[in-house]
Amino acid sequence: MKTLVSITAALFLAAIYLIFFYTPTEAVMGLVQKIFYFHLPLAFTSFFSFFLAFICGILYLVKKDAKWDLYSACSVEIGVVLTTLVLITGSLWARPIWNTWWTWDPRLTTALILWLIYVAYLILRMSIEQEGKRASFCAVMAIIGFVDVPIVFFSARLWRTIHPVVIEKGKINLAPSMKLSLLLAMIAFFALWAILFRIRSQTLFLNARIKKLNNKLLEEA
């Protein structure tokens, strides 16, 4: 874990150095465009979180093993945190460029819906006491909720939007120096995601262990 933390810190330092000292400032938007180098990796890591929750949801329904439910919950929680940051950074970028904090653009609207779906997942998780029932309901919700991820990704291509499209037909529409900074930031965020996932999954497994021990104690009493 310590090695992973050190590698992540080094990656972030290198990414920040590249973003501010190597990559040139964008000609039209100016300095505020540098939000992009964190905004896009945040979005991609959140999509990855929801994808993992989707896979774990399927695995839970097939195998009925509680560990998949815990992994799914962990992924969703991290995904919600990251999506919240995507929405905040997007809004802060939109204000000086679009002259508004928020607009009901297809990309923004579908991203907000994605956030709401997974916040609902977390509320659902907290509101069901029975473990098996909660895990099954949450697995189904993680699977259905994932439908919105490709909609968010393709919304800027399918409908008329003011949101910029960076990846088109498998190509990244950026200058080479911008591409390098983005790539490094992306790797750094995936490393951070791994740290968050590890800490959170350990916590959830500990919680499950405590519940089992409590039940055993009650039985013995």
Partner 1 sequence: MKNIEFLAAAYMFIWGGIFLYITVIAGQQKKLLQKVEMLEELFNKGDGE
- Position 215 contacts partner 1 (CB under 8 A): no
Give the DSSP letter of residue 30: B
CB of 157 to partner 1, least distance (A): 25
Query: Strand, coil or helix: what is 159?
Result: coil
Integer distance in angstroms from the first to the last C-alpha of the chain? 39
Q: Which SS3 state, helix, strand or coil, does residue 214 take?
A: helix
Count of residues near partner 1 by CB under 8 A: 33
The token pair at 52 is: 């993992």
Does residue 89 bind partner 1 (CB under 8 A)?
Answer: yes
**Of residues 127, 144, 152, 138, the one with CA closest to residue 72:** 138
Binding flag, residue 63, partner 1 (CB under 8 A): no
- As measured in angstroms, the least distance from the Cβ of 216 to partner 1 is 7
Establish if 38 lies at the interface with partner 1 (CB under 8 A): yes
Compare residues 37 and 143 and give the one whose CB is closer to partner 1.
37
Task: Work out whether 125 is an interface residue with partner 1 (CB under 8 A).
Answer: no
Q: Does 213 bind partner 1 (CB under 8 A)?
A: yes
If one counts every other C-beta atom within 10 angstroms of the C-beta of residue 3, the result is 7
Query: What contacts 24+ positions apart, CB below 8 Å, involve 1-8?
Result: 1/195, 1/198, 4/191, 4/194, 4/195, 4/198, 5/195, 7/191, 8/188, 8/191, 8/192, 8/194, 8/195
- The residue within the footprint of partner 1, chosen from 9, 13, 88, 175 (CB under 8 A), is 88
Is residue 96 near partner 1 by the rule CB under 8 A? yes
Q: If binding is defined by CB under 8 A, does position 4 make contact with partner 1?
A: no
Least Å distance, CB 61 to partner 1, is 27
Q: How far apart are CA 98 and CA 196, in angstroms?
A: 33
Which residues sit at the interface with partner 1, rule CB under 8 A? 30-32, 34-35, 38-39, 42, 81, 84-85, 88-89, 92-93, 95-96, 192, 195-196, 199-200, 202-203, 206-207, 209-210, 213-214, 216-217, 220
